[in-house]
Structure 1
Amino acid sequence: MLRIIELTNKNTIATKASGKLRKEDIEKIHPLIHAILDKGMKVRWYFEMDNFTGWDLSGLWEDLKMDTAHAKDYEKIAMVGDKKWQEWITQFMKPFTNAEIKYFNIDQKEDAKSWIESQ
């Protein structure tokens, strides 16, 4: 499941992922991305993982399509989690986007929020 959470920046999408993400979860993000792009801004994404176990097949495919289509539209991505594989995924993403991507441990989530909203 993917829940939208609030942050204050106009160009920041903040989400909390738990369990497995499905296609419907990823589709929630599309209008948010386009609303930011329509304002002429780049997207910042705060992605917190809480008992997150990954994607089902259709969710993974939808996520890959979205990330590929918007690779140049992201400015910053903060990945927040508590598992080694989540940190690995952050490293794996770097060659596929121009965004600055950082991984934060779950106990650093306030630092991650500050970083994603900073200039």
Structure 2
Amino acid sequence: MPVSVVFESKQLVRVHATGVLTRAEVDDTKRLMFAHMMEHGVQHLLFFIEPDFGQLQAFANWDDIPEDRFIQQHVVRLALVGDMRWRDQALLFFLSGLVPFQIEYFNADQEEFARAWLLG
């Protein structure tokens, strides 16, 4: 499965993306996160773009489903971790600068820094 979600704690969600992400997979992931947020409140998101990640489909975006507004209002911070070649596309995909939470991109070998920033 190209997307895996791990709920590390009530307020920390870890997502791993591999292969080619489709809209259906992204929407399913958002619905899963929505349900978790409904139960546990605001979240810190740690998103890993794995080495075997292929691409994002152009039509997969955060404005697809009704739950998006709620999700955006319940994210504290989003830390993206992956190869720097994905930085610009990832920030565009997650609408950096247009969402009401902070987003930072970290190189693949900077997970500790990403976690410190995310929870700091």
- Report what 2:110 is aligned to: 108
- Report what 2:48 is aligned to: 48
Structure 1: which 5+ residue stretches go unaligned? none
TM-score by length of 2: 0.75
**How big is the shift at 1:44?**
1.7
In the aligned structure 2, how far is the partner of 1:6 from the partner of 1:107? 22
How many residues were matched structurally? 113
In the aligned structure 1, how far is the partner of 2:72 from the partner of 2:45? 12
In the aligned structure 2, how far is the partner of 1:37 from the partner of 1:43? 11
Amino acid at match of 2:87: E
What do the CA deviations read for 1:79-113 (whole angstroms, capped 9, x no partner)? 111033x2113443222211111100000012213
- Give the 3 Å change call, closer, same or farther, for CA 23–91 of structure 1 in structure 2: closer
In the aligned structure 1, how far is the partner of 2:29 from the partner of 2:91? 24
- Give the 3 Å change call, closer, same or farther, for CA 96–68 of structure 1 in structure 2: farther
Amino acid at match of 1:3: S
What's the Cα RMSD here? 2.4
- Give the 3 Å change call, closer, same or farther, for CA 106–96 of structure 1 in structure 2: same
Structure 2: which 5+ residue stretches go unaligned? none
In the aligned structure 2, how far is the partner of 1:91 from the partner of 1:21? 16
In the aligned structure 2, how far is the partner of 1:36 from the partner of 1:68? 12
TM-score by length of 1: 0.75
What is the 5 A alignment of 1:81-92? 81-84=82-85, 86-92=86-92
**How big is the shift at 1:49?**
0.4
- Give the 3 Å change call, closer, same or farther, for CA 19–65 of structure 1 in structure 2: same
3-state SS in 2 of match to 1:36: helix
Structure whose residues are more often helix by fraction? 1
What is the 5 A alignment of 1:1-119? 1-5=2-6, 7=8, 9-26=9-26, 27-39=28-40, 41-50=41-50, 51-57=52-58, 60-61=60-61, 63-66=62-65, 68-69=68-69, 70-84=71-85, 86-92=86-92, 93-116=95-118, 118-119=119-120
